[in-house]
Amino acid sequence: MEYLTLTGGVRMPMLGCGTWQLRGEAGKRSIREALEVGYRLLDTARMYENEDIVGQALRESGLAREEVFLTTKLCQTSAGYEAARRDIDASLRALGTDYVDLLLIHEPYEEAPAMYRALEEARRAGKARAIGLSNFSWADYKRLCAACEEEKEVRMKQYLALDIGGTFIKYALMGADGSFLEQGKIPSPVDSMDGLLDAVAAVGERFRGRYEGAAVSMPGRIDTKAGIAHTGGAFGFIQDAPVGELFAARLGCPAVVANDAKCAANAEAWTGALADTANGAVLVLGTGTGGGIVLDHRIWMGSTSAAGELSFLPVQFAGMGKVRMDGVRSEGAERMWAQYASATGLLQAYASRKGIPAEGLDGLQFFAAYDAGEPEAAAALAAFGEMTAAGIYAVQSVLDLERYAIGGGISARPEVADVIRDKLDAIYASIPFTAFGKPEIVRCKYGNDANLIGALRFLLDAV
Using CA atoms, how far apart are residues 305 and 322, in angstroms rounded to an integer?
25
User: E strands along 134-261, which residues?
Assistant: 158-164, 168-175, 180-187, 214-218, 222-223, 228-229, 255-259
Quick one: which of 197, 203, 201 has its CA closest to 232? 197
Alpha-carbon distance values, 82 to 78, 128, 219 (Å): 8, 17, 44
Using CA atoms, how far apart are residues 255 and 259, in angstroms rounded to an integer?
14
Q: Is 213 helix (H, G, I), strand (E, B) or coil?
A: coil
- 48 as an active site residue: the answer is yes
Give the chain's count of helices (H) and strands (E). Answer: 14, 19
Exposed / middle / buried, residue 215 (Cβ in 10 Å: 0-12, 13-18, 19+):
buried
Given 3-state DSSP classes, what are the helix, strand and coil percentages for the chain, each rounded to the nearest 5? 45, 20, 35
Q: Is 436 helix (H, G, I), strand (E, B) or coil?
A: coil
**Catalytic residue chosen out of the listed positions 48, 211, 340, 404:** 48
Using CA atoms, how far apart are residues 365 and 460, in angstroms rounded to an integer?
40
Using CA atoms, how far apart are residues 323 and 332, in angstroms rounded to an integer?
5
CB proximity list for 41: less than 8 A, separation 6 or greater: 12, 13, 15, 16, 17, 68, 69, 70, 71
Cα 145–148–149 angle (5° rounding)?
A: 100
Quick one: which of 48, 87, 37, 92 has its CA closest to 70? 92
Using CA atoms, how far apart are residues 416 and 442, in angstroms rounded to an integer?
10
Q: Which residues are catalytic?
A: 48
